[in-house]
Structures are given as C-alpha cells and as structure tokens.
Amino acid sequence: MDNETLKIVVLLLIFTGIILMFGYFMRKILKVERKKWFSYNHVNDLHKKIDWSIRITFTLIFITISYYMTYSDVHNIDWYFDMWVYSFLLFIFLSESVRSVMEWKYATNPNTYIVTVAEMVLIIVLVMIILKTHFFNLLN
C-alpha cells in the first residue's frame, strides 16, 4: 500500500471515529437508545413502506447512472464521480429525513429525531469537506 492510500485510509478511519463518537455522546446526552447497526429500525409500517420506496427508487437511479456511464461517451471523470456522490448524498438526506420525521411524530422518546438529524448533518458536512478538499489534497 502506497503512502497516499494509507493516508486516505487513516483519514476515513478518523472521520468514521468522529461520527461514531458524536453519535455516542449525542445519545448519552439526550438519553436515546442505541440503534443496531445494519438493521432496519423502522418506527412503524408507514415508515417501512416509505423507506423501501426510497431505497428501490435510488437503486433504480444508481442502475440508470451505471448504464448511462457505461454506454455513453463520457470523458469527464469528475462529472462521473460527482453524479455518484451527489446521488448518494441525496439518498442519505431523504432516507434520514423521513426517519427523523417518523421519529418526531411516532417514537416513544421525543429526542430520537434530534440525534438522527444531528448525525445526518454531521455526515453530510464531513463528506462535503472531504470532497471539496480532495481528501485534504491527498488526491492531487
């Protein structure tokens, strides 16, 4: 592994640690239960239906983007990367926004949605920082 790759991996681990610690402390301060990782924590059936609609829609969008990028004569690699990243950020934003609204309306602990919104904002800000600084100029 070369030096730049190692720096990028370390940077991603640092940002992952920041996100995890932020979530831990927010949950501790607001007395919110920890969600299980990689599980579908739907508040109710309506949330489940909306969440799956968003997931299926974005899966179709990603397939369409993949098809278009594979079979078109695209020479601008930055635009290709931006299309993926912004689609992924939009997916995170929509999915977590729906989750926070459902938590706000239907969750037993009213502070749950605050943690969800705070984590979503932190993740989007960190991803934008990484993208706009080109991994703090590690990709130059």
pTM: 0.82
Cβ atoms within 10 Å, residue 52: 12
As a whole number, mean pLDDT of residues 54-67 equals 92
Percent above pLDDT 90 for the chain: 51
Specify the pLDDT at position 5: 83
Which carries the bigger pLDDT value, residue 46 or residue 128? 46
> Residues 32, 111: contact at Cβ < 8 Å?
yes
Which amino acid type is present at position 40?
Y
Q: Hey, what are 38's tokens? A: 């990689």
Q: What is the pLDDT of residues 93-140, one digit of tens each?
A: 999 999 999 999 998 998 999 999 999 999 999 988 888 887 777 766
Q: Where are the domains of the chain?
A: 3-137
Which residue shows structure tokens 């983007």?
A: 65
Q: Which of 8-12, 23-27, 96-100, 110-114 has the lowest mean pLDDT?
A: 8-12
> Residues 50, 25: contact at Cβ < 8 Å?
no
Whether 79 has a pLDDT exceeding 80, the answer reads: no
* Of 25, 47, 131, residue with least CA distance to 95: 47
